[in-house]
Structure 1
Amino acid sequence: MRKVIVILVFCLGLVSFSQNDQRFDQANAMYNDGKYAEAIEQYEAILESGVHSAELYFNLGNANYKLNNIAPSVYYYEKALLLNPNDDDIKNNLAYAQNMTIDAIDNVPQVGFARIINNVVNTFAADTWAKMAIAGIIVFVLLFLMYHFAQATSRKRLAFIISVVSLFFGCFAVAMAFQKESLDKKDNPAIVFAQESRVKSEANKISEEVFRLHEGTKVQVLESYEDWKKIQLSDKSTGWIPAEDIKIIKSF
């Protein structure tokens, strides 16, 4: 019975994959024919089936950009970039979409030692740092064994020095992996979807308005309270925005 269920699930998966593949081709054909709204419907139907890919989000961004849908185009380009951060086409199209936004917000760069540390941490993903740490520890163990069993003094000295360096590198990579993971958890970007949103000083409608944001603007979500999200802009300004006015980029 269990084998029958497994085979049935596998067959259903193949059917679903085939249907999504056909929908994707149909959506691409509609896009090429200038039927952007129809293409969006097909792309979104694929998303609803649970399929997520950089190519799918990229095409959704393109179709929405053609219709001057500012927030959706920025949103989908950002999601595509999240899945494929090294794609130049996504970066270029995202820049075009961002040029349609109204809000001009200054970017306050980090300075000093914090900037140097963050640049080093962001050099690799957390998993890459972890793999480098494991490699460093393995090299340390092997060279330490070589040091222990080597007869020649020169070899023992060389093995000891390199093993110590490997140990320090492994510990450094572990620290970088934890720091990168911490930064990734804090990174919670979102896109404003409301045509105009009034950002408040507190999480209620009667509090003071601190500034207004418009569709397509990217914000960082710091915390949540009931139907409100505390956000931060690139210029370090903060405030509370209705949760319904934004969409989280990392939600799939």
Structure 2
Amino acid sequence: MKQRGKLSWSNSVPIVIGIKPHLVNKIGGKAVLWVIMLLSFVGFSQNEELFKEGNDLYNNGEYQEAVEKYLQISENGQHSAALYYNLGNGYYKLNQIAPSIYYYEKALLLKPNDADVKNNLQFAKNMTIDAIEELPQTGIDKIVNNMLGTFSYATWGVLSIAFMILFVLAFLLYYFSSYHTKKRLYFALSILCVIIALTSLGFAYHQYGVAQKNNPAIIFAAETSVMSEPNMGSGEIFQLHEGTKVNVLDQLGEWKKIKLDDGKVGWLPSSELKEIKDF
């Protein structure tokens, strides 16, 4: 498993917001901004150095030390698909499947279509014990879900805006064109663009709703009992093992209600799992 050698931060340099002009002037605005920029640059440089040190340790087979370097970057509040991908590789080499899957899944949140992450994630999943089968879908549902899942809601939103711009351009060409043949062509093109734009907007809205409802987590306990109610006195429904992915539906005190891909639902202690969307 090859490590990523370059970081592309998703949240590396803080954005200065909420500072009122008169307050900036009062405390020496330019000096403050320069200090903030300098601290941001220093922090970024330190993380880059930690990342390089982690890669060198990994390539030398010192996986635990490499993981510790990467974790220092994560503890600094930085989020990057490259960082989480490398963490996943490090834990995989240490045969720690739950954290390996956990960090691969975090990397996919930032880069959903990354082929390397998907490939390594599948290797890690092959080492889990639980075999969870997804609920069967009808042919139409499967086609629709595959189409919607082609892009994230952000990408569908961008496509919607792009085709709306194309619609405006095509309509202007139709309006100012003096040839009937071209006017018909531009009119048809404008109608097609607005249809695609509205469809993409609908897909973006649907995907956003799905993303908001989806709260995935990874089981970290070697073995845990899923209960029918949020207390140890209730009956055990089934057992799960480390590395299994679940969806968190609700929380009550120190218990979380989870759902599997096969539709099973139950409660387990919050300490037994880690939510992926924790940044």
- What's the TM-score, normalizing by structure 2? 0.82
Residues 3 and 158 of structure 1, relative CA distance in 2, 3 Å threshold: same
2:112 match: 85
1:203 to 222, 230, 236: 230
- Mapped pair 1:227 → 2:254: yes
Deviates more, 1:204-213 or 1:110-119: 110-119
Unmatched 5+ stretches in structure 2: 1-27
Describe how 1:47-62 pairs up with structure 2 within 5 A.
Answer: 47-62=74-89
1:101 match: 128
Looking at structure 1, the residues matched to 227 and 180 of structure 2 have their Cα atoms a distance apart, in angstroms, of: 71
1:135 to 134, 145, 162: 162
Looking at structure 2, the residues matched to 19 and 149 of structure 1 have their Cα atoms a distance apart, in angstroms, of: 57
Deviates more, 1:215-224 or 1:161-170: 161-170
Looking at structure 1, the residues matched to 44 and 163 of structure 2 have their Cα atoms a distance apart, in angstroms, of: 41
Unmatched 5+ stretches in structure 1: none
1:190 to 217, 221, 224: 217
1:65 match: 92
- Mapped pair 1:166 → 2:186: no
Looking at structure 1, the residues matched to 171 and 56 of structure 2 have their Cα atoms a distance apart, in angstroms, of: 62
C-alpha distance after superposition, 1:26-45 (max 9, x if no partner): 22232233332222222111
2:30 match: 3
How many percent identity over aligned positions?
A: 50
Looking at structure 2, the residues matched to 62 and 17 of structure 1 have their Cα atoms a distance apart, in angstroms, of: 23
1:175 to 198, 202, 223: 202
Task: Report the CA distance between 1:151 and its aligned residue.
Answer: 4.1
Aligned residues: 252
2:3 match: none
Describe how 1:148-159 pairs up with structure 2 within 5 A.
Answer: 148-159=175-186
Task: Report the CA distance between 1:220 and its aligned residue.
Answer: 1.4
Task: Report the CA distance between 1:182 and its aligned residue.
Answer: 1.2
Question: CA RMSD, aligned part only?
Answer: 2.0
Residues 168 and 4 of structure 1, relative CA distance in 2, 3 Å threshold: same
